[in-house]
Structure 1
Amino acid sequence: MNGGDHGRGDAKVHIKTPLLYSAPLSKRSSSLGGRSISVYLKLDNLQPSGSFKIRGLGNTISKRARSSPGLHVISSSGGNAGLAASHAANALGLGCDVLVPSSAEEEVKALMRAEGANVTVVGDAWDDCDVAAKALAEAQAAKGIESCYVHPFEGDDVIEGHSSLGQEIYQQLRDEAGVERGPDAVICSVGGGGLLRGLLRGIERARTESQPAPLIVTTQCHGADAFSQSMSASVDKGAPQLVALDSITSKATSLGAKTCSRDAVKDALDYRAASNSRFSTVVMPDDLARAAAWRFARDHRQIVELACAVAIAPLYFPDKVLNPHLIGKMEQRDEPLVIVVVVCGGNKSSTALMERYRLNEETRPQLVEELQMQLDGALVK
């Protein structure tokens, strides 16, 4: 069990995070002499659990806790979802079990335990943990224990919770930045697809008929790109297709679902069809995410993990995919283009890692210049 009776069934477990203008990224992404670009950062790395996951998992657990005060929470996660589940359970005064893969960092497991969670290592990948989590929920039910199994990226309550992020982007652009038309593009990383589905739902609710559909850019690292491969196959077939990875080889382990959500692929296809193909996938080597991560720490004094930095990388290296490829897909207008990046989390990172990334790059000065990104399944040259 966790921290006693301090929680309440109606406790607010996530916050409205800042949307901040980034001068360094705006200048960098406009540096090729093309369109002027204004970049805004949606800082969900500042959530109490350290990532956007608390929106969806917190919503799910809070709803169940209102009707079942003695609920026991069960989560399968390589990190961020487990941290979200353990934080929500702790805030609500509930017990929590988190099943993690062997790749889970000791620091992340310690954070879960600090929230009062029981942490158990199961298997080599998240998929193994998820099977074990469902079995644990069934075993507890057989003993008369009311438990709440929370999927890291599936379930309507999870997606509904994540949808608040998309709605906040439109509200904050209008009320705080004076941008009435909404974003021209939104960039987010994708693992299983829960963030993407919530983002699309929130945008659909927030966007008015007079506002153009933004270009949605999803980013992944090679070796954790089940969603991007699935999208390429689905576009070719004209219907949702799931591509399963044999293993997760990227160090961006928070993206580490060997199979993504079919609903995420379907929602992406639907958005692509309704928005005149304003949907793209970008895949890159880990080293480009590393290069973006340490630059982001230098420029913004915030530390993010690789699974988050992969969404920032297209702006730090605009010649690789942003200009002219992605810019050409955006609504053409006279004003500066507005791009929002979802800074989704920073739990699996440290100042030591940032320094290591920087020093490793110094020993290979041509590395970043030589690396390439894939856009919609094809290598950009």
Structure 2
Amino acid sequence: MTQQKQPSVKTSVTELKYKGTGPRIILKNEYEQPSGSFKLRGIGHLIQVSIDKAKSLGKDKVEVFSSSGGNAGLAAAYAAKYYHVQCTVVLPIISKPVIIEKLESIGAKVIVHGKHWGEADHYLRTVVIGELDESIYPVYAHPFDDPLIWEGHGNFIDEIIKENQLSKEDLLKVKGIVCSVGGGGLYNGVIEGLERNDILKDVPVLAIETNQTPTFKVSIDAGSIVHLKEINTLATSLGSPYISSKSVENYHKHKTYLALVDDVEAAEAVVDFYDSTGIIVEPACGAALSVAYKRSDLLDKFGDLSSEDIVIVVACGGSSTNESTLNEFRTLTKTS
């Protein structure tokens, strides 16, 4: 059997049935990726291109290095295993044990260092990669800030169109796309995907953060990139201390709305989504899914929508939630 070029897979689209009136909500189900989230699209693409480059340079000892709150590391580890190369992942201390267990089960070497992703990433680049033997060709898989990652993430927009997951008639009814934002990798991929497909190029984007991780909003308000000093959030995969500069650039060139939901609202959406579908995602995904539940008011940013209009929500997935944490979220939402 011939191995496919990249480790990511085609994902389905489904219409989410939700309470209340409003537009049709179509989910792009990136939780179906083998690593558990959309991250595999972009990071898998980055690693594939980097390995091809190493081969062209005559380098045969390639190793992958990632720093992540979880999902980017899982994507890097999965892609590295797919391409039969070693992978090292540095995680901050706030990372969930379930993520560490999953990384090790894939075969990655895990190092825990730093209070948040920024500190973990600095340690990876300056110490782990900095002290490598010259015989090793390192592939640094940034969690979100690399053009190759955005290019790969944008493939899911191409897929919706080229695989006829929505008819041309339905594509013309799309009034907005909703995605969660941490460091901006997914958002940048959405913009790239929209702008390389004429039928959707003018569709606005609603980028949702949590009140506890407002990196995008504070940077737009300040007019420059702001680094958060502390991050304490249930949505750990959104816990980047800064937004990518490309995201700020995209905000100013593509119609984008920013919105904040609370951690509890994101967790509540995780519970609601599970109760309606039986699928477990994490609060980072719940932030976007909240528009179908408690925060349907955010859809008003797209204007006066009819029941025939369509909003695409990126169900980005995530692997930090299990049945135990799901029950914790259920208790949290009942007491808040």
Deviation at 1:182, TM superposition (A): 5.3
Give 1:89's aligned residue. 80
Within 2, Cα distance between the matches of 1:247 and 1:217? 25
Give 2:269's aligned residue. 292
Deviation at 1:318, TM superposition (A): 4.5
Deviation at 1:231, TM superposition (A): 2.2
Query: Where in structure 2 are the equivalents of 1:186-197 lying within 5 Å?
Result: 186-197=177-188
Between 281-290 and 345-354, report the one with greater CA deviation. Answer: 345-354
Q: Given that residues 122 and 128 in structure 1 are in contact (C-alpha distance below 8 angstroms), is that contact kept between their aligned partners in structure 2?
A: yes
The CA RMSD measured in Å over matched residues stands at 2.2
Deviation at 1:29, TM superposition (A): 4.8
Within 1, Cα distance between the matches of 2:237 and 2:136? 30
Within 2, Cα distance between the matches of 1:171 and 1:268? 26
Within 1, Cα distance between the matches of 2:24 and 2:50? 40
Give 1:99's aligned residue. 90
Within 2, Cα distance between the matches of 1:42 and 1:174? 10
1:120 aligns with 2:115: no
Deviation at 1:66, TM superposition (A): 2.4
Amino acid at match of 1:214: V
Deviations 1:192-248 (A, max 9, x none): 00111111000111133xx572221011111211112212333xxxxxx11221111
Between 104-113 and 311-320, report the one with greater CA deviation. Answer: 311-320
| Residues 249/7 of structure 1: CA separation in 2 closer, same or farther (3 Å cut) | farther
Q: TM-score, normalised by structure 1?
A: 0.81
Amino acid at match of 2:227: A
1:145 aligns with 2:136: yes
Identity percentage over the alignment? 28
| Residues 317/104 of structure 1: CA separation in 2 closer, same or farther (3 Å cut) | same
Within 2, Cα distance between the matches of 1:231 and 1:253? 22
Give 1:280's aligned residue. 257
Give 2:31's aligned residue. 45
Deviations 1:244-279 (A, max 9, x none): 21111111110011111011111111113xxxxxx2
Deviation at 1:178, TM superposition (A): 5.0
SS of structure 1 residue aligned to 2:129: helix
Q: Given that residues 71 and 148 in structure 1 are in contact (C-alpha distance below 8 angstroms), is that contact kept between their aligned partners in structure 2?
A: yes
Amino acid at match of 2:298: V
Amino acid at match of 1:361: T
Structure 2 residue runs without a partner (length 5+): none
1:252 to 229, 232, 235: 235
Give 1:224's aligned residue. 213
Give 1:378's aligned residue. none
SS of structure 2 residue aligned to 1:340: strand
Structure 1 residue runs without a partner (length 5+): 1-5, 31-35, 235-240, 273-278, 368-381
Query: Where in structure 2 are the equivalents of 1:201-220 lying within 5 Å?
Result: 201-208=192-199, 213-220=202-209
Q: Given that residues 160 and 166 in structure 2 are in contact (C-alpha distance below 8 angstroms), is that contact kept between their aligned partners in structure 1?
A: no
The count of residues paired between Structure 1 and Structure 2 equals 330
| Residues 231/7 of structure 1: CA separation in 2 closer, same or farther (3 Å cut) | farther
Deviation at 1:181, TM superposition (A): 0.8
Larger radius of gyration: 1
1:62 to 26, 31, 48: 48
Within 2, Cα distance between the matches of 1:91 and 1:319? 39
Within 2, Cα distance between the matches of 1:11 and 1:319? 39
Within 2, Cα distance between the matches of 1:102 and 1:291? 25
| Residues 182/130 of structure 1: CA separation in 2 closer, same or farther (3 Å cut) | farther
Q: TM-score, normalised by structure 2?
A: 0.91
Q: Given that residues 7 and 92 in structure 1 are in contact (C-alpha distance below 8 angstroms), is that contact kept between their aligned partners in structure 2?
A: no
Deviations 1:112-146 (A, max 9, x none): 11111100011111101111121222321x53311
